[in-house]
Amino acid sequence: SYELTQPPSVSVSPGQTARITCSGDALPKQYAYWYQQKPGQAPVLVISKDSERPSGIPDRFSGSSSGTTVTLTISGVQAEDEADYYCQSADSSGTYEVFGTGTKVTVL
């Protein structure tokens, strides 16, 4: 089955930049999306179609894509950004959706 691989954890000091990668063989063909999930809450879409920011999402969140890897970048990290982050995409056929393994972002 298709998998999207993320680092388990990323630690960053306030004001610094956090980068979270997501790797998958079908990413050159399929859009990637990113979600933020805080404890006890439902996920929230923070990046759409590799790099688009939905309405209401702060501009410190950005996304990029290169080959089989997509990256979520949080610039000027704030304490409130501490959360789990998941990438999501489809397999090469576009039939099945897959979430990444998830990355816990800790703000030191």
Partner 1 sequence: EVQLVESGGGLVQPGGSLRLSCAASGFTFSIYWMSWVRQAPGKGLEWVANIKQDGTEKYYVDSVKGRFTISRDNAKNSLYLQMNSLRAEDTAVYYCARIGAAAGIYFDSWGQGTLVTVSS
Instruction: Kindly list the residues in this chain that would bind partner 1 in the complex (CB under 8 A).
Output: 1, 30-31, 33, 35, 37, 41-45, 48-49, 54, 84, 86, 88, 90, 94-102
Which CB, 37 or 68, lies closer to partner 1? 37
Cα 49 to Cα 6, 17, 54, 64, 82, distances in angstroms: 18, 21, 10, 9, 23
Q: Which residues contact 95 (CB under 8 A, 6 or more apart)?
A: none
Nearest alpha carbon to residue 65 among 21, 107, 95: 21
Tokens for 93? 């056929």
Q: How far is the CB of 5 from partner 1 (least distance, A)?
A: 12
* Separation of alpha carbons 107 and 12, rounded Å: 5
Which CB, 49 or 76, lies closer to partner 1? 49
Which CB, 25 or 84, lies closer to partner 1? 84
Q: How far is the CB of 18 from partner 1 (least distance, A)?
A: 19
Q: How far is the CB of 28 from partner 1 (least distance, A)?
A: 14
